[in-house]
Structure 1
């Protein structure tokens, strides 16, 4: 008899002090909603909220870009289980939400969904078609979660 795999474990870490960070159950719900699209419900994902210095260091070390970015995705495995890390840079997310006139909650939800799709192999940098497909999927997942289109304010 084949060994039954464990359901997706989602660890949420807070590596910075802010009162407006989303609660762990909410983050897990966003991540699970994005995972439902792939059909793979097994694995382990860590979602980490960081300050600007850690976000910048990771972006420089892994993407050769010397600034902090909103979300970094580190996939470790897709099969047979999804394994990876998401790192959200809190000051960047807060700044973007304010600049784009979006609620902080909606922007966090979008970036968790976006990052989870990257962990599942989705890519928006390879082609316009892939980018459009990923954005459509993000819109659908976020609508199911009760959030507005995250791209409606962008040109």
Structure 2
């Protein structure tokens, strides 16, 4: 089950459409859908999590906690709407596209994709682009 939670003044339009999209991504990646929570928040909220749980004192657009068991995906995906807006502006892309990229990015991590090396980043970006086209 995919749920959407709000800790800021933002509400995801068409939650059902996004839920179906994420479910399709999971199935296409040969995984099973468990309990996945998206938490939309602001920079301060996510910075607090970054400091408390990861020991990082930096702003970020997404933090995901993976509780998956094998190929059954479970996790909490925290997304800073402020960072997504700023990144969309910096990368000169539409806010909706950047939001979709971040949302699928978290799920792809749960599916086993990494983004530490240049090669891994290219694979991750390719997958993101593939799935963004599926909902656009």
TM-score by length of 1: 0.78
Which aligned runs of 4 or more in structure 1 are off by greater than 6 angstroms? none
- CA deviation after TM superposition for structure 1 residue 43, in Å: 0.8
The aligned residue for residue 46 of structure 1 is 37
- Higher Cα Rg, which structure: 1
- CA deviation after TM superposition for structure 1 residue 80, in Å: 5.1
1:72 counterpart = 2:72: no
Over 3 Å counting, the alpha-carbon distance change for 1:70 and 1:22 in structure 2 is farther
Q: Counterpart of 1:102 in 2: which secondary structure?
A: coil
1:93 counterpart = 2:84: yes
Measured against aligned partners, the alpha-carbon deviations of 1:5-58 in whole angstroms (never above 9, x if no partner) come to xxxx00100110136x44422431342243133212331100010122111011
Quote the RMSD (CA, aligned, Å).
Answer: 1.8
TM-score by length of 2: 0.88
Gaps spanning 5+ residues in structure 1: where? 1-8, 147-155
Gaps spanning 5+ residues in structure 2: where? none
Q: How many residues align?
A: 136
